[in-house]
């Protein structure tokens, strides 16, 4: 770990916020379209207990698809390897909300991080919990991992997504048609929309991500073998059809969300959260990706 990590964060902040192209905020969820794209935050949690940050690291944002990492950990805790009968473990090479492969692949989504896969994961959790219990369990998991009770769901964002969630409804109905959704699509999606609407700051997200680092000083909420597997899926599928490019540029497991957040894990070393709401055309944070690219270069953090 470089001793001048705070200097590196300060330099990256200065460098990326000087860029004129911030990308476009997600507009298909109206509530997210109102977020100021000029914001940028970055936080790094280390095994020795230190939390370093820069920029808007205390501003809560919608974690969106980053929630899929937490629900995957919870579903694996409930049903273990049985989960893989209903969800694959391969990158899709398609957009996060694509329906294309589902028709040829019998309603089994390619992986738990595309929307279809995450909807099945939520459906699995609902086999042993009501929607209310599932969301309470998710918040408890995240709050425990982050060691912070002040993490909540933004109801307005959940409602906003429900009102415009036609593609997710189509995915859910399509999978139900193949027998790969056990609850009514509206029930599973009601829970899914709320899990996506969890809000966290970079500081809180970097803290919550520590459960995937597997180092002394980090919370041990799941087994080391499960940590390895979730990290492998983040590396291969965490950025949808941009996963290969992210692995090439950054070389670390990560999960993005259309709120502009990215959770990045440096196995054994650190949990990183970056946020900037402007997105690339693939739905990943533009400045966030740039920032972790620079951070990985300057710290030499990589799994390769
Ligand atoms: O289901 C959706 O469309 C959103 N709640 C989450 C999508 C998302 O974050 C994709 N990430 N890049």
- Nearest-angstrom CA–CA distance, 209 and 48: 15
Among 105-114, 145-154, 188-197, 277-286, name the one with the lowest average pLDDT: 277-286
As a whole number, the mean pLDDT across the chain is: 96
Q: Is the pLDDT of residue 304 over 90?
A: yes
CA of 259, closest atom in ligand 1: 9
Q: Is the pLDDT of residue 4 over 90?
A: yes
Protein residue with least CA distance to atom 4, ligand 1: 64
Work out the average pLDDT over 208-214. 98
234 alpha carbon – ligand 1 mean position (Å):
15
Percentage with pLDDT > 70 across the chain: 99
What is the ipTM for the molecules in this complex? 0.97
Phi-psi region of 219 (alpha: psi -120 to 50; beta: other; left: phi over 0): beta
The answer to whether residue 258 is catalytic is yes
Task: Give residue 21's pLDDT.
Answer: 87
CATH superfamily for 65-196 is DD-peptidase/beta-lactamase superfamily (3.40.710.10)
The answer to whether residue 68 is catalytic is yes
104 alpha carbon – ligand 1 mean position (Å):
23
The answer to whether residue 192 is catalytic is yes
67 alpha carbon – ligand 1 mean position (Å):
9
Task: Give residue 199's pLDDT.
Answer: 98
pLDDT digit string, tens, across residues 78-104: 999 999 999 999 999 999 999 999 999
Report angle CA 86, 92, 94 to the nearest 5 degrees.
130
Beta-carbon contacts of residue 179 (< 8 Å; ≥ 6 apart): 107
Q: Is the pLDDT of residue 246 over 70?
A: yes
Task: Give residue 2's pLDDT.
Answer: 46
Work out the average pLDDT over 6-21. 95
- Confidence (pTM): 0.97
Pocket mutation for ligand 1, best pick of 64, 118, 158, 242 (most atoms within 8 Å of C-beta) = 64
Q: Where are the domains of the chain?
A: 5-61+200-299, 65-196
Work out the average pLDDT over 24-30. 91
Q: Is the pLDDT of residue 292 over 50?
A: yes
Q: Is the pLDDT of residue 163 over 90?
A: yes
Question: Which of these CATH numbers, 3.30.1360.200, 3.40.50.720, 3.30.565.10, 3.40.710.10, describes 5-61+200-299?
Answer: 3.40.710.10
Task: Give residue 1's pLDDT.
Answer: 46
Which residues does the annotation place in the binding site for substrate? 65, 115, 161, 168, 192, 240, 258
The answer to whether residue 240 is catalytic is yes
Q: Quickly state the pLDDT bin for 3 (edges 50, 70, 90).
A: low
Tell me which residue of 272, 293, 30, 269 sits closest to 162, measured CA to CA.
30
For 222, list phi and psi in degrees, rounded to 5. -135, 165
10 alpha carbon – ligand 1 mean position (Å):
29
């Amino acid at each position: 770990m470089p001793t001048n990590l705070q200097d590196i964060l300060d330099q990256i902040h200065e460098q990326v916020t000087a860029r004129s192209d911030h990308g476009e905020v997600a507009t298909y969820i109206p509530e997210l379209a109102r977020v100021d794209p000029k914001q940028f935050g970055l936080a790094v949690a280390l095994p020795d207990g230190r939390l370093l940050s820069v920029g808007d690291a205390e501003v809560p944002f919608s974690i969106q698809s980053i929630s899929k990492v937490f629900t995957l950990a919870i579903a694996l805790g409930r049903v273990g390897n049985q989960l893989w009968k209903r969800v694959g473990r391969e990158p899709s090479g398609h957009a996060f909300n694509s329906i294309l492969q589902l028709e040829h692949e019998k309603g089994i989504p390619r992986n738990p991080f595309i929307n279809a896969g995450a909807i099945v994961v939520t459906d699995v959790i609902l086999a042993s919990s009501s929607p209310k219990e599932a969301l309470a369990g998710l918040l408890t998991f995240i709050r425990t991992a982050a060691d912070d009770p002040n993490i909540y769901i933004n109801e307005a964002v959940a409602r906003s997504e429900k009102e415009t969630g036609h593609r997710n409804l189509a995915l859910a109905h399509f999978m139900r048609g193949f027998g790969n959704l056990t609850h009514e699509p509206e029930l599973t999606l009601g829970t899914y929309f709320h899990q996506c609407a969890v809000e966290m700051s970079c500081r809180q997200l970097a803290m919550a991500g520590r459960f995937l680092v597997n180092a002394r000083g980090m919370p041990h909420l799941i087994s080391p073998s499960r940590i390895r597997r979730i990290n492998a899926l983040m590396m291969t599928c965490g950025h949808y059809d941009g996963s290969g490019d992210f692995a090439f540029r950054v070389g670390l497991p990560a999960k993005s969300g259309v709120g502009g957040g990215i959770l990045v894990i440096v196995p054994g070393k650190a949990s990183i959260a970056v946020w900037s709401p402007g997105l690339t055309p693939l739905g990943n944070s533009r400045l966030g990706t740039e920032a972790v690219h620079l951070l990985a270069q300057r710290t030499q953090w990589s799994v390769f």
